[in-house]
Amino acid sequence: MELYITLFVVLLLAGLATIIKYFGGEALISGYNTSSPAEQKYMKEKGIGAFMGNYIYLLAGIILAGYLIKKAGFLWGVDISWALFIVVIIVMLIRARRFNPPASLSTPKSARIRKISLWASAIIMLAVVGLVTWNALPTQYHLEDKQIKITGAYGRNINFYDIDDIILQTEMPVVGMKNNGLNMGPILKGHFSVKGMGSALLFLRSAHGPVLIITFKDHSEPVLINFSDPEETNRLYQQLKSQTSTL
């Protein structure tokens, strides 16, 4: 499924680049279609179609390269490619300013729209970076008398009475598609499909075992936890077993 999604995105970007660069699709460029005819003529003559098309081809190549690098065994391949993707977009937006029509051709409305578009792009990009950073922060676990509190993104409180079993598994189960969560190299946080378990809530910092698996009496989705240091995973397992052994 991941392959199909990657190919869909790559082909979509490549198709968009082809239309813009070779088939007069400049109207698909943000800001171009709201410009006056004189401004559009200026931007087209300056080569905005070829410029945008080439950059979109580059973005498609970055996504494909990241997927292939990850499949070759480098877990951070996709994440590095997305970071590079953002950098290339920033560079593209900066370099695209040279296609801005001179003041003599611009209308107050078109100039205002371009300014709004630029600010909107910057705000959206900052929001995305902030959200990813918050999701990637290490999860904190607080053991209390009757529950464990998992804080941070996708955090929840787990009552010890609701737990059916706690297992320390040496081998990492096969994790499938992300349903709602963060997939950043070895860091998996959120809701994923896991082979043999169905949907599960993951708080993983390592792609290798051991992994702590908590199952519940009501058969709700299990919780999987591990740390980059295996000793920390073992320590949390022992603490949880000690807390729940008397229930």
Identify whether the C-beta of residue 159 lies closer than 8 Å to the C-beta of residue 146.
yes
- Smallest CA-to-CA distance from 81 within 106, 104, 64, 98 is with 64
Which structure tokens are listed for 59?
A: 């973005």
Quickly count: other Cβ atoms within 10 Å of residue 14's Cβ.
17
Read off the amino acid at residue 141.
Answer: Y
Give the pTM: 0.67
Going along the chain from its start, the domains and CATH numbers come out as: 2-136 (no CATH), 140-244 (2.30.29)
Identify whether the C-beta of residue 179 lies closer than 8 Å to the C-beta of residue 191.
yes
Identify whether the C-beta of residue 187 lies closer than 8 Å to the C-beta of residue 205.
yes
- Smallest CA-to-CA distance from 223 within 146, 144, 135, 160 is with 160
Between CA 38 and CA 68 the distance in angstroms is: 44
Which structure tokens are listed for 90?
A: 């920033």
Between CA 92 and CA 88 the distance in angstroms is: 6
Output the tens digit of pLDDT for each of the chain's 247 residues: 568 888 999 999 999 999 999 999 999 887 787 788 888 999 999 999 999 999 999 999 999 999 899 888 887 788 888 889 889 988 998 898 899 888 777 677 777 776 777 677 778 777 777 777 777 788 999 999 899 999 988 999 999 999 999 999 999 999 988 899 888 888 899 999 999 999 999 999 999 989 999 999 999 999 999 999 999 999 999 999 998 876 6
Which structure tokens are listed for 233?
A: 């995973």
Q: What angle do CA 35, 30, 7 make, to 5 degrees?
A: 150
Burial of 232 (0-12, 13-18, 19+ CB in 10 A): middle
Identify whether the C-beta of residue 51 lies closer than 8 Å to the C-beta of residue 29.
no
My answer on whether omega of the bond before 186 falls inside 30° of 0, hence cis, is no
What count of residues does the chain have?
247
| DSSP letters spanning 154-177 | T-EEEEGGGEEEEEEESSPPPEEE
pLDDT at site 1: 59
- Parallel, antiparallel, or unpaired for β 198-204 and 223-225? parallel
- The DSSP element (H or E) to which 64 belongs, if any, is helix 48-71
